[in-house]
């Protein structure tokens, strides 16, 4: 039997432009841990700090038999270009893609990849790799395999009819190993973290799925059902993160603060274990009581990021946010009075709003006493209700870093919105710099 090599690719190339902090990709870290547990040789090709030429050279040197790409919305064109180049250099390799965009548009990705894995592929992709590489007749394996054994698999090959993507149960999630972080360039990620926030930050996920249905949100991977990881697994991962020199956690899941019982259990254990890490997280404005916020602060939470989105109750209804301005005011006060900094995300130029509601959002953002604010125009993520409603969405190239740009025909002028965002940010920063 020959080599059993699998390469996992994260096709993001850091441009050096100022943007939100970046982290090692957890998805391929998890797949690496699962594949190694099956006895396969794995190389993670994280392109973040590479050029295209360097990435191709490393891939050619490893010479894998299976190559898997993790593709977020903004990485589609990078993945297509890199896959075409890799196939020229190694045509015998099997190429697969997974992630949010392949899940939504398997037919589009099947033109570039032999197989697409939709949904939560932490079980199906490693099983597929192991079974294929164990097979004495690999071409025959593809012709005769049972697609239902690999939930979510899709291909243009007539032998592979495909099967429905399934979401893992809590029991399956708790049986997973922690992500394999051994191959990431931690010093470079930590240097960027220090530059961005003064902290060496690593990301972690503790919950999967979201029951809310915000108009602009797409959740093709994790779905609607919320599943909470066991805290034993979470703290095993935290200890691993700390061993690489990180001192701050970015809890990246949408619903971490949705269950006060789970959140308080996490804070209790963090204080009991005296884990020397601070942390920040996303939160809704309407899920936290004052006592829980104080507990979060005592356990090391320094900042929460709130999806406030609008300063108009009417627009919040359009967005199906299921909050109102009074809940925003109350939520911000709850966190700030507990000593936790608050950042607010806002969307301006939403379909159905007016210049007056946009101006209300700017004024509301300035009135809240937030520690950080950011504005974006509506971003019609594939799979969202917003995407289905707007016309002429340009999704040929999602790779841009200028936030004030519409991907569809909007009634609002980009130039005016950009100017008003800049003016509002200047006023916000001026207020922040004044002595209090």
Instruction: Give me the pLDDT at residue 16, please.
Output: 78
The vertex-212 CA angle with 207 and 217, nearest 5°, equals: 90
Token pair recorded at residue 150: 């690999």
The CA distances from residue 114 to 20, 84, 100, 147, in Å, are: 33, 12, 17, 14
Token pair recorded at residue 28: 């391929």
Instruction: Give me the pLDDT at residue 19, please.
Output: 59
CA 102 to chain centre: 14
Query: Considering its fold, how many domains does the chain have in total?
Result: 2
Output 425 or 103, whichever has higher pLDDT: 425
Q: What is the DSSP letter of 147?
A: G
Instruction: Give me the pLDDT at residue 229, please.
Output: 94
Query: Rounded mean pLDDT of 28-39?
Result: 96
**Predicted confidence band of residue 395 (pLDDT cuts 50, 70, 90):** low
Instruction: Give me the pLDDT at residue 386, please.
Output: 85
Each residue of 321-361: pLDDT tens digit? 999 999 999 999 999 999 999 999 999 999 999 999 999 99
Output 167 or 256, whichever has higher pLDDT: 256
Residues 161 and 253 in one domain: no
Instruction: Give me the pLDDT at residue 185, please.
Output: 97
CATH number at residue 266: 3.30.750.200
Across all residues in the chain, what is the average pLDDT?
89
Residues 118 and 264 in one domain: no
Q: Decide if pLDDT at 405 tops 80.
A: no
* The residue to which tokens 């999806």 are assigned: 307
Residue 17 lies in a domain: yes
Q: Decide if pLDDT at 373 tops 60.
A: yes
**How many CB atoms are closer than 10 A to CB 241?**
25
Residues 124 and 15 in one domain: yes
CATH number at residue 93: 3.40.50.280
3-state secondary structure of 66: strand
Q: E strand or H helix at 309, and its extent?
A: strand 301-309
Q: Is residue 71 within 8 Å of 99, Cβ to Cβ?
A: yes
The vertex-433 CA angle with 432 and 436, nearest 5°, equals: 75
Residues 159 and 256 in one domain: no
Structural domain harbouring 19: 5-166
Residue 195 lies in a domain: no
Q: Decide if pLDDT at 20 tops 70.
A: no
Give the lowest-confidence range in 73-77, 79-83, 309-313, 396-400: 396-400
3-state secondary structure of 173: helix
DSSP, residue by residue, 200-248: -EEEE--EE------TT---TTT-S--EEPPHHHHHHHHHHHHHTT--E
Q: Which of 148, 166, 184 is the last residue of a domain?
A: 166
Q: Decide if pLDDT at 403 tops 60.
A: no
Instruction: Give me the pLDDT at residue 394, please.
Output: 64
Using a pLDDT cut of 70, give the percent of the chain over it: 91
Residue 11 lies in a domain: yes
Give the lowest-confidence range in 125-129, 130-134, 212-216, 246-250: 212-216
**Predicted confidence band of residue 401 (pLDDT cuts 50, 70, 90):** very low
Q: Is residue 205 within 8 Å of 263, Cβ to Cβ?
A: no
Q: What is the DSSP letter of 335?
A: H
Token pair recorded at residue 52: 């295209």
Q: Is residue 204 within 8 Å of 234, Cβ to Cβ?
A: yes
Residue 14 lies in a domain: yes
Q: Which of 166, 199, 220 is the last residue of a domain?
A: 166
- CA distance linking residue 90 with residue 64, whole number of Å: 8
- CA distance linking residue 411 with residue 349, whole number of Å: 8
CA 354 to chain centre: 31
Residues 14 and 122 in one domain: yes
**Predicted confidence band of residue 397 (pLDDT cuts 50, 70, 90):** very low
Instruction: Give me the pLDDT at residue 384, please.
Output: 79
Residues 257 and 157 in one domain: no
Instruction: Give me the pLDDT at residue 159, please.
Output: 60
Query: Rounded mean pLDDT of 111-131?
Result: 93
Residues 417 and 278 in one domain: yes
3-state secondary structure of 187: helix
Question: Cα dihedral sign for 240, 243, 246, 247?
Answer: positive
Residue 422 lies in a domain: yes
**How many CB atoms are closer than 10 A to CB 141?**
15
Q: Decide if pLDDT at 435 tops 80.
A: no
Instruction: Give me the pLDDT at residue 221, please.
Output: 65
Q: Decide if pLDDT at 1 tops 80.
A: no
Question: Cα dihedral sign for 166, 167, 169, 175?
Answer: positive
Pairing mode of beta strands 94-98, 115-117: parallel
Burial degree of 78 (CB within 10 A; 0-12, 13-18, 19+): buried
Residue 180 lies in a domain: no
Output 245 or 145, whichever has higher pLDDT: 245
Residues 139 and 263 in one domain: no
Instruction: Give me the pLDDT at residue 379, please.
Output: 80
Q: Is residue 104 within 8 Å of 83, Cβ to Cβ?
A: no
Q: Which of 166, 192, 210 is the last residue of a domain?
A: 166
Give the lowest-confidence range in 66-75, 237-246, 360-369: 66-75
- HEC readout, 9-26: EECCCCCCCCCCCCCCCH
- CA distance linking residue 238 with residue 234, whole number of Å: 6
Residues 161 and 266 in one domain: no
Residue 231 lies in a domain: no
Each residue of 138-182: pLDDT tens digit? 778 877 888 888 988 998 876 665 666 677 889 999 999 999 999
Each residue of 47-101: pLDDT tens digit? 999 999 999 999 999 999 999 999 987 888 899 999 999 999 999 999 999 998 8
Residue 85 lies in a domain: yes
Residues 274 and 412 in one domain: yes
């Amino acid at each position: 039997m020959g080599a059993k090599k699998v390469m996992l690719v994260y096709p993001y190339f850091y441009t050096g432009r100022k943007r939100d902090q970046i982290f090692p990709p957890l998805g391929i870290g998890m797949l690496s841990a699962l594949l190694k547990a099956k006895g396969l040789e794995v190389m993670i090709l994280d392109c973040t700090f590479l050029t295209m030429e360097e990435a191709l050279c490393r891939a050619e040197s490893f010479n894998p038999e299976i190559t898997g790409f993790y593709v977020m919305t903004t990485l589609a064109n990078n993945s297509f270009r890199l896959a075409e180049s890799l196939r020229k250099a190694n045509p015998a390799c099997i190429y697969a893609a997974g992630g949010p965009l392949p899940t939504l548009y398997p037919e589009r990705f099947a033109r570039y990849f032999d197989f697409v894995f939709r949904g939560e592929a932490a079980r199906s992709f490693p099983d597929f790799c192991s079974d294929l590489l164990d097979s004495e007749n690999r071409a025959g394996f593809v012709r005769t395999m049972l697609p239902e054994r690999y939930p979510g698999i899709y291909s243009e090959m007539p032998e592979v009819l495909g099967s429905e993507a399934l979401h893992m149960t809590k029991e399956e999630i708790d049986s997973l190993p922690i992500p394999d972080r051994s191959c990431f360039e931690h010093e470079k990620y930590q240097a960027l973290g220090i530059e961005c926030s003064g902290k060496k930050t690593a990301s972690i996920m503790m919950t999967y799925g979201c029951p809310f249905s915000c108009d602009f949100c797409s959740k093709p991977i994790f779905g609607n059902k919320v599943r909470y990881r066991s805290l034993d697994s979470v703290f095993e991962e935290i200890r691993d993160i700390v061993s690489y020199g990180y001192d701050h956690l970015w809890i990246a899941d949408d619903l971490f603060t949705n269950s006060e019982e789970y959140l308080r259990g996490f804070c209790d254990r963090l204080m009991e274990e005296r884990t020397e890490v601070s942390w920040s997280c996303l939160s809704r404005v309407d899920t936290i009581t004052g006592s829980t916020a104080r507990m979060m602060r005592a356990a090391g939470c320094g900042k929460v990021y709130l999806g406030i989105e609008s300063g108009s109750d009417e627009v919040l209804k359009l967005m199906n946010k299921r909050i109102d301005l009074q809940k925003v005011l109350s939520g911000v006060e709850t966190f700030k009075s507990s000593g936790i900094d608050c950042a607010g995300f806002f969307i301006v130029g939403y379909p159905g709003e007016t210049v007056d509601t946009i101006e209300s959002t700017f004024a509301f953002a300035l009135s809240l006493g937030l520690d950080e604010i950011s504005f974006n125009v509506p971003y019609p993520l594939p799979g969202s209700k917003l995407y289905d409603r707007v016309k002429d969405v340009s999704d040929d190239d999602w790779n841009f870093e200028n936030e004030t740009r519409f991907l569809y025909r909007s009634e609002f002028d980009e130039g005016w919105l950009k100017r008003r965002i800049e003016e509002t940010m200047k006023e916000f920063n001026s207020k922040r710099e004044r002595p209090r």
